[in-house]
A and B are shown apart, each in its own frame.
Chain A
């Protein structure tokens, strides 16, 4: 059974700091891994999607890496801003089965202090 965990559960940093969020998964048989952000009272917004054959993806101040063999992904946020405050979720899409369902981690609640 695929299990996805995220560390830390919560993080508070001052504005301008670089930070790293961690995601680990138990089964390396995945199609891809995706990072989302969730703002209070809103749905999920996709940030980055890394295919299993890729090592990293970048979008602006965000960089996500994937090490499938060790079952780990990191989301690096450079020069954090108060607007980055949100819950960050990683999710994997596993191979096999009749569905493309995502298996989510429990999330990291990020607070960036001005």
Chain B
């Protein structure tokens, strides 16, 4: 595809349920990022992948959050036992290089609402 895609675009779930969010990066991009955008908190970094490994997971808010990336491509962000404070827009970005001139390309996001 031409850009970063994410699915689902919207997700409504009940408190306590698990959810999986998917990101398809631009083909050939080796770096992949997850960010979260919530009201009052702005846009925050969650996790960074280089290939299939995650050298920086420092932004994951709790152990209920996990992410994986397979084949150096698709990534899944999993939130277990969702809480209402998890409601936010989850954005994925990818880039082809990690040098100082790197530009991250963002997907449209997944809007998660936990009732």
Residues of A within 8 A of B (CB): 31-32, 34, 36, 41-46, 49, 51, 89, 91, 93, 97-107
Kindly provide the distance from the CB of A50 to the nearest chain B CB, expressed in whole angstroms.
11
The distance in angstroms between the C-alpha atoms of A36 and B56, with both chains bound, is 23
Chain A interface, DSSP helix/strand/loop, else mixed:
strand
- B95: Cβ under 8 A from any A Cβ: yes
Q: Chain B contacts of A36 at CB under 8 A?
A: 106
A97's nearest neighbour on chain B, judged by CB, is B56
**Is the beta-carbon distance between A51 and B100 smaller than 8 angstroms?**
yes
A36's nearest neighbour on chain B, judged by CB, is B106
A-B CB contacts (within 8 Å), total count: 62
**Is the beta-carbon distance between B102 and A43 smaller than 8 angstroms?**
no
Listed A/B pairs (15) with beta-carbon separation below 8 Å = A34-B103, A36-B106, A42-B108, A43-B4, A43-B106, A93-B100, A98-B56, A99-B58, A100-B31, A100-B95, A100-B102, A101-B45, A101-B56, A101-B59, A104-B43
A31's nearest neighbour on chain B, judged by CB, is B100
Interface residues of B in 83-115 (CB under 8 A from A): 91, 93, 95, 98, 100-109
B4's nearest neighbour on chain A, judged by CB, is A43
The distance in angstroms between the C-alpha atoms of A70 and B43, with both chains bound, is 23
